[in-house]
Structure 1
Amino acid sequence: MNAPLPSPSNLIAAARAEGRSALDEAAGKALLAAYGIRTPRSAVARDAADAERTAAGLTAPFVAKVVSPEILHKSDAGGVALRLQSPADVRAAVEAMAAKPAIAAARVEGWLVEEMIPAGREIVVGGFRDPQFGPILMVGLGGIFVEVLKDVAFRICPVSRADATAMLGELKGAALLAGARGEAPVDREALVDLLVKVGGEGGLLMSLADDVAELDINPVIVSPSGAMAADARFVLAAEPLPDVAETGAEGSRLEAFRPLFEPRSVAVLGASAKDVGIANTFIRRMKDFGYPHQIYPIHPSADEIEGLKSYPSLAAAPEPIDYAYVAMGAQRIPGVLAAAGGRCRIAQVISSGFGEVEDGKGLQEALVAAAQEGGVRVLGPNCLGTYSPRGGLTFPVGAPKEVGTIGIVSQSGGLSTDIIKRGQWRGLRFSGLVTIGNSADVKPHELVEYYLEDPQTAAIGLYLEDVKEGRAFFDLLRSRRATKPVVILKGGRSIRGREAALSHTGALAGDDRAWDALTAQVPAVLVKTVDAFIDVLLALQHLKLRPAKPTHAVTLFGNGGGSSVLGTDAFAEVGLDVSPFEGETLRLLEAMNLPPGTSVANPIDTPVRTLQEKDGWVAGEILDIVYAHARPDAVAMHLNLAAFVGRGSVDPIDNLFAVVEETQRKWPGVAHFCLALRSDGSPELDEKRRHYRDKARAADVPVYDEIPAMALALAAVGHLERQFAMRG
């Protein structure tokens, strides 16, 4: 019955030639078959009588379905009949369906008659074209699980077998695939094979990325004997995906962006000899920050600005410019950069009025073209500046001069100031922070690539609203070059939606599910708030990732019974385990005969009276037992500072830091150590917490204000460790 079928390109070309926006089911199944995906034997009949004759050549039971370019959702129109036992039943079913109002009013091209697939578990496999990342694969349990519970998992294509297996494991109903209520387990390997054929390297979605906008294979029937597609819906793309053009200089990103992070000369455009504008303020802040090289104000007529000799153009400056800060009228900027004559490496355009407003999109295109003419790479426009303590470059006031290991890229200038200042008080120190605004020229992934090459940077943080070249970004993070952890704070996750989706997959793909898929495939973690962003980066500043021992088992140790109980819940909510001790660990801790009110079961609840034993050094004895015998992946200590007020003449907390340092020396690599210092909000205790936070930073310990924040940070560390472990 199944004659040789046209190639995928011919099937799609034929549909487009007929003005179709989707493939009919027969063509869709032929397309699946071309990629080795099993479908039931079938044929298209002209009418009810032909359907009866067609069924006679197939094996019962049968399915009959309407074929119409005007009916995309056949079941909703009453155009599907199942479990037909004879050719005569097929004829009767077609006649009944043809009389239904929605079908009678449509242009019917025929009736698909096929053999009914044996019973099994219903699975939905789908795909869609994400505007940022390209083809995305989806899998979910069928029926109520996808319709109501939305039990689905996504991955960016191409997917590996490991990706496909992990997708199935993420489903809330994954246990059903192993058999439930006496059912036999399904053939998971056959389902994995199907997912790879759809979304793998060289698979359907990758090969037809320019043609397929949305795909539903719904349902796939998977049984102990294999997987078969019962229905397929292909929505064609109106236009091909845009090419990803690699931007910027060839060769090392280290050299390409060295002038940004370590500029040996800075020009300022937009400062005035008469007024004090943002460019004047920038010059003053650079002087206060101690920039060690020359600053050249650029002005068409002024002789001197802010006590510095001024020059009429970038080309007229006494030496080539590494970094130019541009805060002048938007309309004038393209001409100024075009005239740079190759004497300016990087210009950061602070000015707005470009692509962020409809009227400025043309001007933004002109800006990029003019910069290319002048040999300039452009950061921005519509941003605030760059902060690089190693290069003496800053835009916020009072930023720390100490060089750190956290590299930031941000599309928001204002949020960047929050990150720097709030991070400063939390103990975060930066290798650099770049605001990129509209990212008209330099794209986020280029700066990520710089940080990956930069020996000063240990971890990377990104605030993104539009990644610009999502495929290049994804390819970079999944490459072997991505050896450092990435933390992503994504803005606008809930506003894009897919209101015009024509498939189940498309409808389920709202709220930027691609970003969840991304962080399931690469060494990156997604956070929702600035506080969480800083919390995770703080952990990555101090803790060395251990892919061979991903963080899961945690010992919770501190004062306050209620806090310990709530803390255990907080760790459980993020997938970490605070389980009671057993065996030798518990025996040795109980043998310490600690003061009444102490619990050593895990969580270890030690009232202030206990922590004051031996002026706080008792904590070291407890930790030695935990590290030697329990050997957790992490130790999370929490201290309620208010409980120590007026409780004895010795402050045990100062000694605790010595204990922590000694423990880390004695037990290297056994467990991560984090500390939550809880305050009642009084100025006195907040000041003490600041003092202790400085001591903790010196001891290489991340400090949090509350236990849930510490739990979230350790969960992120565990996720990143597992991602690196999968790379081998």
Structure 2
Amino acid sequence: MTIQNTQALRGLRGKTLISQAREKGRLSLDEADGKALLADFGIRVPRSRLAADAAQAAAIAGELDGPFVVKVVSPEILHKSDAGGVALRLPDAAAVRVAVEEMAQKPLIAAATLDGWLVEEMAPAGREMVIGGYRDPQFGPMLMVGLGGIFVEVLRDVAFRICPIDAADAEAMLGELKGRALLKGARGEAGVDEAALIEVMLRIGGADGLLMTHEADIAELDLNPVIVSATGAVAVDARVILSAPAGAEPAVPVLQDSAGETFRPLFEPRTVAVLGASTKDVGIANTFIRRMKAFGFAGSLYPIHPTAPEIEGLKAYASFAATPEPVDYAYIAVGAERIPNILAEAGGRCRIAQVISSGFGEVEEGKALQEALVEGARKGGVRVLGPNCLGTYSPRGGLTFPSDAPREVGTIGIVSQSGGLTTDIIKRGEWRGLRFSGAVTIGNSADVKPHELVAYYLDDPQTRAIGLYLEDVKQGRAFFEMLKQARKPIVILKGGRSNLGRLAAASHTGALAGDEKGWSALQEQTPAVLVSTVDEFIDLLLALQHFDLHPERPTRAVTLFGNGGGSSVLGTDAFAAVELDVAPYPPEVRERLEAMKLPPGTSVANPIDTPVRTLQEKDGFVAGEILDIVYGQAHPDAVLMHLNLSAFVGRGSVDPIDNLFTVIEHTRAKWPGGAHLALALRTDGSAALDDRRRHYREKARAIGVPVFDEIPAAAKALAGVGHLERRLRAVTG
């Protein structure tokens, strides 16, 4: 029988078990059916049979090998142990009969409708594990593994991944467990067969595993415990919670063209229409026209108005049909109720419309109107961004919605579900040195979904790295599958990670699966990093703008070089907190640095602590000699130079920091492909020093060096870089 036929047969048998349970009005499979489902996927389970009463249970025990376990089976009793419905280590048939008779008298069991009693052979001794699964509302099936017993009940020592997983994912999950050493053997105990455990994980969560095969039907799955010993793994308990019968899934729009062709009119529009501008008032659409003019848009601007002959000095047109040319991009800020018909009547003469107006799916009473908007867009052949957003910024296309945005074309692509936050990212990012290939606000994402714009940036040669602000990823499975194959780094600032709402947990898996688990798993399975604040978002994107990533040697070893002993100590702690190493140099490197005979007070152990007096040597060019030894002998993955700017005030006639940029430029040219180099420039908060730091930032940007305000911010960014390098190595092989 072929593999495909085997998989199809497994799916069919499982569907039969699930259908039979649903026909009986059950919300779960009983344990016998749950174990039959596991066995169908090649997972070892104890031999067992279902008995109707104590006498039959004793008879079954006589046909199996003891010792035995007996469990109550009832659709009304999900947690059998809590009801007193489990008896262990029963030596023979007589003990089985007595156990059934005694359990039948328990109050919760006596009051329930029973299917019978499961009699099974006890599994051999081993380490208790828990393997579970659940259907995440955004990403679909997810797998959990953890140490069983007290480790899951109290310590919550578990790891999660989005399905399907592969063997490397399974190994990484085990590596996250604090109790991993117990699997290797501890205090004289033998180690367990980890390969067998990984095989069970793959049969549950792999591409052809149980969770993917029955994705639509299983809400929660709990195998607790799975007994793993030196000779294999056996699932001794199975709890399968069924999902509510699924309705029809909404149709997913299929891109008829490549992402590049679909969204080129957005990022490089030749014709822009504006709906909502007025001859009387200065509304948001009028402001948009004025900003486009000030930004230097070189294409054609077409105000659309039913009666006005002219708006903002531009000839106005009554409709899309009346414009001299088809419209690449339309900015729509009219009453929400008018928009579905406007889109429906576009007649293929508008490629992309951005709906600024609110009053749609973000409020309960607007959900039907949002559906009408999407339907109208389909009819009119328009792709829609929004509604409930602010606009798109594309310096290469002369398109903007913020005022005074930088005109320089950069390499960072942004997709955001918040218009106001995007303005903040653009403006704050500009001051920090970020430059953008584009920034798109998508609001409710009624039509164009985040992953479609990510696809554009992934194919866009102008974009080096992608930043996302998301509250609801919409088509999470498509998003995940795309990111798994991504060959560019992605930074995600996720809003609302704790308020999506969870299914009512009927298992350990459900109870442990908080809203953030899917996103944490996404980070571990794709070249993406989750950040918590706008500052962290900008910091990491700034590093990615300037660094050439090194997947072949992911960032871990760091040289910390600067002035201030206390800052160096605290900086070392900050790097250790994000699992990067500021480790002392080996003797041969220290000897080379000590041979420079630097001024007293200098320490070269790593951190390299250089007082102001040292950095003033040779008007600051001494730093180049130090960096030559670091790059040539120590070979770190990253170098962070940190400077307390206030310590240099009034100290000499030459500014060694200005010369430092020449040093850095020469160092990078001499050691191409060497360690990432970044700066942390600290001030005392005075206006004068903050202005000076702004001057240094511009010099750093010109030579491709990121500047951070503090050492801990740089440490977090470099840790993010290291994670992305490791994940890109996994993608590219």
TM-score by length of 2: 0.97
Q: 2:220, 2:305 → 1: CA distance?
A: 54
What code does the residue aligned with 1:96 have? E
Q: Deviations over 1:86-138 (max 9, x none)?
A: 21111111111111111111111111111111111111100001111111111
Are the counterparts in 2 of residues 496 and 510 from structure 1 also a CA contact under 8 Å?
Answer: no
Q: 1:387, 1:337 → 2: CA distance?
A: 22
Instruction: Give the match for residue 288 of structure 2.
Output: 282
Instruction: Give the match for residue 451 of structure 1.
Output: 457
Q: 2:104, 2:591 → 1: CA distance?
A: 78
Specify which of 651, 656, 675 is matched with residue 655 of structure 2.
651
Are the counterparts in 2 of residues 497 and 512 from structure 1 also a CA contact under 8 Å?
Answer: no
Moved more, 582-591 or 554-563: 582-591
Instruction: Give the match for residue 4 of structure 2.
Output: none
Q: Deviations over 1:371-418 (max 9, x none)?
A: 111111100000000000000100011110000000000000111011
Instruction: Give the match for residue 259 of structure 2.
Output: 253
SS at match of 1:638: strand
Specify which of 171, 177, 181 is matched with residue 171 of structure 1.
177
> Unpaired segments of 5 or more residues in structure 1?
none
What code does the residue aligned with 1:547 have? P
Report deviation, 1:603.
0.7
Instruction: Give the match for residue 594 of structure 1.
Output: 598
Are the counterparts in 2 of residues 611 and 619 from structure 1 also a CA contact under 8 Å?
Answer: yes
Instruction: Give the match for residue 6 of structure 2.
Output: none
SS at match of 2:159: strand
What code does the residue aligned with 1:290 have? G
Report deviation, 1:240.
3.2
The reply on whether 1:40 has 2:46 as its aligned counterpart is yes
SS at match of 2:397: coil
Are the counterparts in 2 of residues 315 and 341 from structure 1 also a CA contact under 8 Å?
Answer: yes
1:333-348 matches, cutoff 5 A: 333-348=339-354
1:115-194 matches, cutoff 5 A: 115-194=121-200
Q: 1:53, 1:156 → 2: CA distance?
A: 44
Instruction: Give the match for residue 327 of structure 1.
Output: 333
1:230-629 matches, cutoff 5 A: 230-240=236-246, 243=249, 245-479=251-485, 482-498=486-502, 500-629=504-633
Aligned residues: 723
Q: 1:392, 1:238 → 2: CA distance?
A: 49
Q: Deviations over 1:589-639 (max 9, x none)?
A: 111121111111011111101111111111111111111111001111111
Q: Deviations over 1:184-230 (max 9, x none)?
A: 11100000100000000111000000111110001101111111101
Q: Deviations over 1:125-162 (max 9, x none)?
A: 00001111111111111122211221111111111011
SS at match of 1:390: helix
Q: Deviations over 1:501-558 (max 9, x none)?
A: 1111111111321011111111111111111110110010000111101000001111
Report deviation, 1:432.
0.1
Q: 1:119, 1:616 → 2: CA distance?
A: 68
Specify which of 637, 642, 653 is matched with residue 638 of structure 1.
642
What code does the residue aligned with 2:98 have? A
Q: 2:67, 2:558 → 1: CA distance?
A: 56
SS at match of 1:296: strand
> Unpaired segments of 5 or more residues in structure 2?
1-8
* Percent sequence identity over aligned pairs: 73
Q: 2:44, 2:634 → 1: CA distance?
A: 51
Report deviation, 1:476.
1.0
Q: Deviations over 1:673-707 (max 9, x none)?
A: 11100011000000000000000001100110001
What code does the residue aligned with 2:38 have? L
SS at match of 1:428: coil
What code does the residue aligned with 1:512 have? E
SS at match of 1:125: strand
SS at match of 2:409: coil
Q: 1:120, 1:668 → 2: CA distance?
A: 53
Q: 1:660, 1:584 → 2: CA distance?
A: 24
Q: Deviations over 1:433-483 (max 9, x none)?
A: 00000000101000000001111001001001111101111111113xx21
The reply on whether 1:80 has 2:86 as its aligned counterpart is yes
Q: Deviations over 1:241-268 (max 9, x none)?
A: 8647442532311111011001001100
Are the counterparts in 2 of residues 244 and 469 from structure 1 also a CA contact under 8 Å?
Answer: no
Are the counterparts in 2 of residues 352 and 381 from structure 1 also a CA contact under 8 Å?
Answer: yes
Q: Deviations over 1:156-180 (max 9, x none)?
A: 1111011111111111111111111
Q: 1:227, 1:325 → 2: CA distance?
A: 60
SS at match of 1:7: helix
SS at match of 2:680: strand
Q: 1:308, 1:241 → 2: CA distance?
A: 50
Moved more, 505-514 or 709-718: 505-514
1:214–1:242: structure 2 CA closer, same or farther, 3 Å change rule?
farther
Q: 1:328, 1:619 → 2: CA distance?
A: 59
1:669-688 matches, cutoff 5 A: 669-688=673-692
The reply on whether 1:692 has 2:692 as its aligned counterpart is no
Instruction: Give the match for residue 113 of structure 1.
Output: 119
What code does the residue aligned with 1:612 have? Q
Q: 1:162, 1:394 → 2: CA distance?
A: 44
Q: 2:218, 2:88 → 1: CA distance?
A: 28
Are the counterparts in 2 of residues 496 and 512 from structure 1 also a CA contact under 8 Å?
Answer: no
Provide the alpha-carbon RMSD of the alignment.
1.3
Q: 2:42, 2:65 → 1: CA distance?
A: 22
Q: 1:608, 1:143 → 2: CA distance?
A: 58
Specify which of 688, 700, 710 is matched with residue 714 of structure 2.
710
